[in-house]
Structure 1
Amino acid sequence: MAIGSTLSVGLIGLKAFIVQVQAFISPGLPYFSIIGLPDTSLSEARERVKSACQASGFSWPQTRVTVNMSPAAVPKRGSSHDLAIAASVLCASGAIGASCLEDTIVLGEVNLDGSVLPIHGLLPIMLHARERGSNKIIVPYRNLDEAQMIEGMDVIGIRHVGELIELMGGNAVYRLPDSGIGGEDVSDDHALVIADRPGDMSEVLGQEHAKWALQVAAAGGHNLIMTGPPGAGKTMLASRIPGIMSPLDEQAQLEVASIRSLCGTLPHYGITDVPPFEAPHHTASTASLVGGGSGIAAPGAITRAHRGILFLDEAPEFSSRALQTLREPLESGYVSLTRSKGSTYYPADFQLIMAANPCPCGYYYGTGERCTCKEKERMRYFSRLSGPILDRVDIQITVPPVSRIAQQHESAGEPSQTIRARVVQARHAAAERFKPFGWSCNAQASGKWLHANTSLRAVELVNRALANHQLTLRGADRAMRLAWTLADLAGRTSPTEQDVHQGIGLRTRMS
């Protein structure tokens, strides 16, 4: 009985698990089967693996070949197990030594000509392998840059199945493709590229109040909506928020990079401390926001915005259903997606920034004399931003049109770097205050803590706003969180009555 064995790693969402791949070559009519709950793409690996091995000079066994992937009760998906399947068959047939693949993880998709193609999701796979103590891993050559981001791992990159055979002491006859994504060398064009930094706040003319509100949002982790006529600079302001946010710590950087690795976009970004910025179009479907697809659901925009900003431009143009799906993730910080083949959880701890025109034509501002919309149209337009959604948005501001262009002799506004320094200082103060509770910013503070630690005179101002129906109970807590953020930005240890006044004002500007 000839059995060859190696290891691979599967993914369910971002959760990785070790897969033992065993090949059994037994007497019988020629047949190749893969068992262990493979999906369609994995079942098709039979033809890819057989052709790839033959393209390496290996004589495929003219008997029965069975490959089992355990644990058998967990669904396996994707083509990243191709190379491990090929390695187990080669091991079972004696083409490579049985001990060569001991405690070695093998990953990669194979092409019919034997070339090894890159895979998605390598970063979370390697993090799991390191936690498990598996330090030796064979990956596609095109994934080598990504694999080397994780320290303490013995990583080998290969371009062809023949290279795997030679690496394990066997003999192979093969030819690397002259061109194509499978076999070409990794040049500077293929290296990881750090995405461009966001624009600078000093490039935005005027809008000092809006910049101040964005600073408060960044310092406290608060959600925000801006309303104003077209051309006022709402989108320009929103796109610059990552530049004033506190840089991501090491853990957050790995979380964001793991999501990008799973989505296949990590080569564009690399591991960076700049928070992500996702801006889906207003025609985006619900599935594209929360995640979807056949089998195990893929990440959506809210997961790609994890630890960063989800920006909804023209927010009232989004479908009501799409907007309502944001309610639970805004509270819980994750999204649970259940499909017929299983459930998965994705992180979704993001800040929501929305921009909206005051009406469909955009000119219901000031006297509203330029507006051509009917009253019903204006009401219908904003009705999609329901009360429960707006109640979860801490800061609600109006962005007026810019009245004049700055002259050359006039100084530009504050640069993002200066604003960011204040935000970092405020974030640090909040993190130190909330260290015993595990919170990182004021937006995460519980209502119980706020009531117990805010002065009685400041709480009384909030109670008056509640009595006057300016705030809901959820809005009252959010107003106090804003007050604490304002205090942190000013370097105070607790909010004053003025901070509470400003916090309530930021909450109720649209009402």
Structure 2
Amino acid sequence: MGIGGALSVGLMGLQAFVIQLQAFVSPGLPCFSIIGLPDASLAEARERVRSACVAAGFHWPDMRVTVNMSPASLPKRGSGHDLAIAASVLTANCRHPDCLADTIVLGEVSLDGTVLPINGMLPILMHARERGLTSVIAPRLNADEAELVKGLDVMYVSHVGELIELLGAEAKTTTPNPVATLADRAATSQAEAAPAVGDMDEVIGQQTAKWALQVAAAGGHHLLMVGPPGTGKTMLASRLPGIMCPLTEQEQFEVASIRSLCGTLSRYGITDTPPFEAPHHTASVVSIAGGGTGVPEPGLVTKAHNGVLFMDEAPEFATKALQALREPLESGYVTVSRSKGTTFFPARFQLVMAANPCPCGYGYGNCERCTCRERDRIRYFGRLSGPILDRIDIQVDVMPATNVTSRRGHDGPSSARMRQAVVEARNRAAERFAGLPWSCNGQASGAWLREHTPSAVLDVVDRTLASQFMSLRGADRAMRLAWTLADLAGHGEPDAEDMHRAIALRTRV
């Protein structure tokens, strides 16, 4: 009879918390129970852990075994706590039951004792380091991810028998079949390889749209492209990450933590290229905003954090899915509330929408090819509600190219040249906003804009507001655009011409 213990880390979204596990072996009818608000997959750990320990040569006690996971008020989920449960039971039967009292134990176990990798290893280990817990036992297949977090003493295991030997006992270790590391799997899996970002000079024509994308990248502005099919809207949007500023080290770890939680870090690795997410127009509200049963899962707005969320055929998305974007566009995060708790996910992304001018797609110019009735056109584009359009900084028409001869010598600036201009503009903005809680014009507050924007520019804004051509939110966004145009032009501050161009960018005129 004894009490053994170990530590694990649970996740609610990206919010981590330390879990203390205690195993109590007491006289009574043979029974194995796990308490502390486990979910269904965690309750199934009883069979996995018992079978794995027996396969490793451990004599499972013919007594009552109870494992408590504290704090009991927080829901625990997933199979990533299997190895910690096994460790708590093993320590309860060894000479020093408190030998893992300060050690984080992570991993899923299979019935034969093999220790499997888990999702979310990166945010878990970063939280452990913040809490001052430096001793970790982790799956060997998570080694590539664990090595990204410095300052930890990590011991890797591939079988429960190795854990038994770490505790000073003898084990009948079954060596698992060789499995490729995360890096090997990422290199060899062509189907899972991250798509390469194309170059802007591959898009024929569309100089106005390219310039609008450059302005969007320079200031972190949201963008809507309207045009008939086949004009290159999707090509342009997919190349936006190639002209955006490279991610900072902190942003890289934020993106990597989200991908680790979603189990896709092995596909991308640590990269300074902003993420790009492009959901199909049939995507549900939960898949976009996040949620699900039980503990909420991150949605596409979170997967696009620090990057681009591209919504092609935007009017075809469900109205509720579009409305779910309103709060994260303003706040930079999304709140998902469920019966078992509330989770906050980061969601500071650049929204890029593409839309046809009408249901048939040919309602442009003299509309001679258009077969839509006027009310159908109004209803179609009206699906993009006013509150959504008011949060879109830039609206631009993308018309069909008139010739292909310019393609012979590459058409327009390359992504590298455009990125250089964007980086220079961002550096000017970052220097101006030093010490403030934002670093780009797209995030600047209205109070700061009204205080620092020249009076001649504010006069243009006042005249536009007086004509009821723009809302107050739209005026703030237009001023942000004016500052971005000034940064791209190398001005110290915007002038009236910059403001007029910013208003034109917002209204497709």
**TM-score normalised per structure 1:** 0.96
Q: CA deviation at 1:11?
A: 0.6
| Structure 2 match to 1:287 | 286
Alignment of 1:1-400 (within 5 A): 1-94=1-94, 97-178=96-177, 184-186=179-181, 189-190=184-185, 195-400=194-399
Deviates more, 1:233-242 or 1:246-255: 246-255
User: How far apart, CA to CA, are the structure 1 residues paired with 2:270 and 2:117?
Assistant: 18
User: How far apart, CA to CA, are the structure 2 residues paired with 1:31 and 1:4?
Assistant: 17
Among all aligned residue pairs of Structure 1 and Structure 2, give the percentage whose two residues are the same amino acid. 64
User: How far apart, CA to CA, are the structure 2 residues paired with 1:140 and 1:267?
Assistant: 15
Contact 2:182 2:266 in 1 (8 A): no
Residue identity matched to 1:447: G
Distance 1:411 1:17, change over 3 A: closer
Contact 1:97 1:169 in 2 (8 A): no
Contact 1:192 1:270 in 2 (8 A): no
Residue identity matched to 1:383: G
Q: Which secondary structure state, in structure 2, belongs to the residue aligned with residue 199 of structure 1?
A: coil
Q: CA deviation at 1:185?
A: 4.8
Q: Which secondary structure state, in structure 1, belongs to the residue aligned with residue 217 of structure 2?
A: helix
The CA RMSD over aligned residues, in Å, is: 1.5
Contact 2:289 2:299 in 1 (8 A): yes
User: How far apart, CA to CA, are the structure 2 residues paired with 1:56 and 1:409?
Assistant: 66
Contact 2:218 2:244 in 1 (8 A): yes
Residue identity matched to 1:305: A
| Structure 1 match to 2:463 | 464
Residue identity matched to 1:156: M
Distance 1:386 1:260, change over 3 A: same
| Structure 2 match to 1:438 | 437
Contact 2:294 2:340 in 1 (8 A): yes
Q: CA deviation at 1:23?
A: 0.6
Q: CA deviation at 1:347?
A: 0.6
Residue identity matched to 1:122: M
Contact 2:6 2:22 in 1 (8 A): yes
User: How far apart, CA to CA, are the structure 2 residues paired with 1:455 and 1:24?
Assistant: 71
User: How far apart, CA to CA, are the structure 2 residues paired with 1:367 and 1:239?
Assistant: 30
Q: Which secondary structure state, in structure 2, belongs to the residue aligned with residue 354 of structure 1?
A: strand
User: How far apart, CA to CA, are the structure 2 residues paired with 1:129 and 1:184?
Assistant: 27
Q: CA deviation at 1:72?
A: 1.4
Q: Which secondary structure state, in structure 2, belongs to the residue aligned with residue 129 of structure 1?
A: helix
Structure 1 residues 60-89: Cα deviation after superposition (integer angstroms, max 9, x where no partner)? 100000101111111111111100000110
Q: Which secondary structure state, in structure 2, belongs to the residue aligned with residue 390 of structure 1?
A: helix
Q: CA deviation at 1:167?
A: 2.5
User: How far apart, CA to CA, are the structure 2 residues paired with 1:440 and 1:191?
Assistant: 33
Q: CA deviation at 1:195?
A: 3.4
| Structure 2 match to 1:402 | 401
Structure 1 residues 14-48: Cα deviation after superposition (integer angstroms, max 9, x where no partner)? 01011111111101110001111111111111011
Q: Unaligned stretches of 5+ in structure 1?
A: none
User: How far apart, CA to CA, are the structure 2 residues paired with 1:262 and 1:508?
Assistant: 39
| Structure 2 match to 1:423 | 422
Distance 1:236 1:409, change over 3 A: closer
User: How far apart, CA to CA, are the structure 2 residues paired with 1:77 and 1:428?
Assistant: 43
Q: CA deviation at 1:270?
A: 0.9
User: How far apart, CA to CA, are the structure 1 residues paired with 2:478 and 2:237?
Assistant: 22
User: How far apart, CA to CA, are the structure 2 residues paired with 1:407 and 1:472?
Assistant: 40
Residue identity matched to 1:212: W
User: How far apart, CA to CA, are the structure 2 residues paired with 1:500 and 1:256?
Assistant: 34
Q: CA deviation at 1:135?
A: 1.2
Residue identity matched to 2:23: A
| Structure 2 match to 1:447 | 446
User: How far apart, CA to CA, are the structure 2 residues paired with 1:186 and 1:216?
Assistant: 41
Residue identity matched to 2:106: L
Q: CA deviation at 1:406?
A: 2.6
Deviates more, 1:412-421 or 1:183-192: 183-192
Residue identity matched to 1:445: A
Contact 2:144 2:182 in 1 (8 A): no
Q: CA deviation at 1:408?
A: 6.3
Structure 1 residues 133-170: Cα deviation after superposition (integer angstroms, max 9, x where no partner)? 11121111111111111111112221110111123322
Q: CA deviation at 1:99?
A: 4.8
User: How far apart, CA to CA, are the structure 2 residues paired with 1:314 and 1:101?
Assistant: 54
User: How far apart, CA to CA, are the structure 2 residues paired with 1:309 and 1:57?
Assistant: 51
Structure 1 residues 254-275: Cα deviation after superposition (integer angstroms, max 9, x where no partner)? 1111111111111101111111
User: How far apart, CA to CA, are the structure 1 residues paired with 2:407 and 2:214?
Assistant: 26
Q: Which secondary structure state, in structure 2, belongs to the residue aligned with residue 464 of structure 1?
A: helix
| Structure 1 match to 2:493 | 494
Residue identity matched to 1:415: S
Structure 1 residues 386-442: Cα deviation after superposition (integer angstroms, max 9, x where no partner)? 111000000000001011113565343211111111111111111111123221110
Distance 1:185 1:212, change over 3 A: closer
Distance 1:200 1:455, change over 3 A: same
Q: Unaligned stretches of 5+ in structure 2?
A: none
Aligned pair count reads: 505
User: How far apart, CA to CA, are the structure 2 residues paired with 1:483 and 1:303?
Assistant: 28
Contact 1:244 1:419 in 2 (8 A): yes
Q: CA deviation at 1:198?
A: 1.1
Contact 2:55 2:112 in 1 (8 A): yes
User: How far apart, CA to CA, are the structure 2 residues paired with 1:421 and 1:189?
Assistant: 33
User: How far apart, CA to CA, are the structure 2 residues paired with 1:205 and 1:151?
Assistant: 46
Q: Which secondary structure state, in structure 1, belongs to the residue aligned with residue 395 of structure 2?
A: strand
User: How far apart, CA to CA, are the structure 1 residues paired with 2:405 and 2:115?
Assistant: 56
Distance 1:244 1:184, change over 3 A: same
User: How far apart, CA to CA, are the structure 2 residues paired with 1:49 and 1:411?
Assistant: 61
Q: Which secondary structure state, in structure 1, belongs to the residue aligned with residue 16 of structure 2?
A: strand
**TM-score normalised per structure 2:** 0.97
User: How far apart, CA to CA, are the structure 1 residues paired with 2:183 and 2:271?
Assistant: 19
